[in-house]
Amino acid sequence: MNDKEHDDKNFDSSQINDNELQKYEEAYSEHGLKEKLRKYAKIIGVGAVYKVLQLWYVLQKPDVPLAQKALITGAIGYLIAPLDFIPDLTPVLGYSDDFVAITYALIQVQGYVDAEVKDKSRHFIEDIFGTDAVSELD
């Protein structure tokens, strides 16, 4: 087993928390997010992209507290950052820690994920993957 395989098997999702994600807040940018989604949407899949988009649209809401916005930008920054717990270049497992970070943040802000956020996310998904992909969501 090489070092990379060893690191993947030892990934502990409990390492992802508010404090850890906020370290990646400065890696967040709207441009970086759009580039990552454009390049890797097919690899990371419809469900994961949908979660990221929900976070992004929640981030746009003016009534979301700054602490929640910091968590969201940290989680998205973590996705965008070239180095994280498991490098994204590793097939399949490379995005597993990113998904944990995104899911964690989404759970923390779920009260802000309303019909409008879901609709906007679905429309974006439709543009990337086509109309059939939207039926797989929720």
Q: What is the pLDDT of residues 50-88, one digit of tens each?
A: 999 999 999 999 999 999 999 998 888 888 776 544 444
Checking if the pLDDT of 36 tops 80, the result is no
Distance from C-alpha of 61 to C-alpha of 78, rounded to nearest angstrom:
21
Q: Looking at residue 93, what is its pLDDT?
A: 46
Domain boundaries, the chain: 17-134
User: Around Cβ 48, how many Cβ atoms within 10 Å?
Assistant: 19
Which stretches does DSSP call E strand in the chain? Answer: none
Left (φ > 0), alpha (ψ -120 to 50) or beta: where does 45 sit?
Answer: left
**Cβ distance 50 to 125 under 8 Å?**
yes
- Among the ranges 14-23, 39-48, 60-69, 84-93, which has the highest mean pLDDT value? 60-69
Check pLDDT > 90 for residue 8: no
